[in-house]
Amino acid sequence: MSTVNSDKLSSARFAQATNAFVEVFTASVDFDKRMAEQDIQGSIAHATMLSACGILTGQECDAIIEGLSRIRQEIGSGQFTWSIKQEDVHMNIEARLTDLIGIAGKKLHTGRSRNDQVATDIRLYLRSEISHISDQLIRLQTAILNLAEQTADTIMPGFTHLQVAQPITFGHHLMAWFEMLNRDHERLQDCCKRINIMPLGAAALAGTSYPINRFMTAELLGFSRPSANSLDSVSDRDFAIEFTAAASLIMMHLSRFSEELILWSSAQFDFIDIPDAFCTGSSIMPQKKNPDVPELVRGKSGRVTGHLVSLLMLMKSQPLAYNKDNQEDKEPLFDTVDTVINCLRAYADMMPHITPKKANMYTSAKRGFATATDLADYLVRKGMAFRDAHEVVGLAVRLGVDTGRDLSEIALTELQQFSSLISDDVFEYLTLEGSVAARSHIGGTAPDTVRAAIDTARKNLTDASKNQ
Ligand code: ARG
């Protein structure tokens, strides 16, 4: 019996060769070869299990493992020839294995399918990439803690609606960033629990009739357990969507940090200096120093959210079980991983070199009537109802605006014309230092509170990096 196309998968079934364009169109090897290492790990575990269960002989298993190790080395040294004739990473490796070891290579696929193989590879791949992302997150968080420590008592204006609201410390502001990244870290760890479940053994969709031991393969690959339903585990990519959602939140947070760094480094704010090594100039305007790294990161946040939407739409309405649609999961996923790692890395590299311009922050905090709430609180403590106090302070602020003075610069007698409750102790509340020091409850901006928050955060971060 002759076959029409000896390269074609399941070629005996087909009377026609694959259309040349369709062959290119349906191949995924150009991008899924990125999972070669995971594919090899999965195959070694599968072969080991097959031999322990008496489905392969010990010699066959040894030959497979030897062949796969050789392939690993060929890929590592760039000698491996990838071919779209073999469609994807799985078939390329299996075909080379058969070239190398003959018939035993053809037995590797016993009791599995590319459907459970690819689902396993993606999970192994994501598990390892999440640990790289976590490493970068921890680097960035450490840099933020260090800067926060140096600026725990550096006063700056805090904003709402981007208008000066109340004085805060720069360290407190930075610790807000830290908290966001902490939740990002937790989300990644949490999604890892659902990633770390093994599809192998689900085979094409229904399981396999060979006497396999899925617990053994799961253990060999470091999965917490085999999946509970074969149909589900070859088809759903919710774990990848969940990861991409967590990545989108990281990028959303980075875009917020970026926006602030861009504003703060502008001549109008002038709160920080971003070192030259992280900025570029303009080809036409000689005076320019552009905050390229934060801008680019802000821009890249959009593409990761785009990938999240792509993956959701990819999965939406797919009937059970595996469909070729799922091949489209890889490019958005890989790009998400690359983007998040690169952006976190750029940030972690840049953050230790950011210089706060403390005097400018202080002057700016003085300018915006940032202690108006403190004056109102002062009047409330003296017995006035808050709404009335709000009115009184409004009048004092108007006087300050009209005469170009901050509240702390208005004379006591002038303040007293708005309320007789005001006495000379008011000035300790109207200073920026007094205002921040008064907010000393947990989560507040008082320098000592911020220092305590940094200590706790540092301890938790050390524990988190140990548990990686
Ligand atoms: N390249 C495929 C993917 O990425 C592998 C699984 C193919 N399975 C199949 N029955 N066609 O999903």
pLDDT of residue 367: 87
pLDDT of residue 8: 61
- Any ligand 1 atom below 6 A from CB of 88: yes
- Any ligand 1 atom below 6 A from CB of 235: no
pLDDT of residue 10: 58
Rounded distance between C-alpha atoms, residue 422 and residue 379, angstroms: 7
Please give the distance, rounded to the nearest whole angstrom, from the Cα atom of residue 324 to the centre of ligand 1. Answer: 6
Residue nearest to ligand 1 atom 4, measured at CA: 327
Please give the distance, rounded to the nearest whole angstrom, from the Cα atom of residue 91 to the centre of ligand 1. Answer: 10
pTM of the model: 0.94
pLDDT of residue 2: 39
Distances (CA, A) of 202 to 113, 124, 206, 375: 8, 16, 6, 68
- For this structure, is 161 an active site residue? yes
Q: Which residues of 47-76 are buried (b: 16+ CB within 10 A; e: fewer)?
A: bbbbbbeebbeeebbebbbebbeebbebbe
Ligand 1 atom closest to Cα of residue 88: 1
- Any ligand 1 atom below 6 A from CB of 115: yes
Q: Which residues contact 300 (CB under 8 A, 6 or more apart)?
A: 251, 339, 343
- Any ligand 1 atom below 6 A from CB of 307: no
Q: What's the burial of 97, exposed, middle or buried (CB within 10 Å: 0-12/13-18/19+)? A: buried
Please give the distance, rounded to the nearest whole angstrom, from the Cα atom of residue 314 to the centre of ligand 1. Answer: 15
Residues of the chain with pLDDT under 50: 1-5
Please give the distance, rounded to the nearest whole angstrom, from the Cα atom of residue 288 to the centre of ligand 1. Answer: 50
Pocket test for ligand 1, best of 9, 118, 315, 329 (most atoms within 8 A of CB): 118
Residue nearest to ligand 1 atom 11, measured at CA: 324
Query: Own/partner pairs for 51-57, CB < 8 Å, 24+ apart?
Result: 52/213, 52/216, 53/210, 53/211, 53/212, 53/213, 53/216, 54/211, 55/110, 55/111, 55/210, 55/211, 55/212, 56/104, 56/107, 56/110
Pocket test for ligand 1, best of 115, 328, 331, 333 (most atoms within 8 A of CB): 115
What tokens were used for 123? 């999970």
Delimit the domains of the chain by residue range. Answer: 20-110, 115-151+169-204+229-362, 364-466
Please give the distance, rounded to the nearest whole angstrom, from the Cα atom of residue 49 to the centre of ligand 1. Answer: 23
Residue nearest to ligand 1 atom 12, measured at CA: 327
Please give the distance, rounded to the nearest whole angstrom, from the Cα atom of residue 2 to the centre of ligand 1. Answer: 26
- Any ligand 1 atom below 6 A from CB of 139: no
- Out of 161, 209, 317, 441, which one is annotated catalytic? 161
Rounded distance between C-alpha atoms, residue 429 and residue 413, angstroms: 17
Per CATH, the homologous superfamily of domain 115-151+169-204+229-362 is Fumarase/aspartase (Central domain) (1.20.200.10)
- Any ligand 1 atom below 6 A from CB of 326: yes
Q: Which fold has domain 20-110?
A: Fumarase C; Chain B, domain 1 (1.10.275)
Task: List % helix, strand, coil for the chain (3-state, nearest 5).
Answer: 65, 5, 30
Please give the distance, rounded to the nearest whole angstrom, from the Cα atom of residue 337 to the centre of ligand 1. Answer: 21
Q: Which fold has domain 364-466?
A: Ribonucleotide Reductase Protein R1; domain 1 (1.10.40)
- Any ligand 1 atom below 6 A from CB of 436: no
Nearest to 115 by CA among 42, 210, 33: 42
- For this structure, is 307 an active site residue? no
Per-residue HEC secondary structure of 256-297 comes to: HHHHHHHHHCCCCCCCEECCHHHCECCCCCCCCCECHHHHHH
Ligand 1 atom closest to Cα of residue 326: 12
Rounded distance between C-alpha atoms, residue 261 and residue 216, angstroms: 50
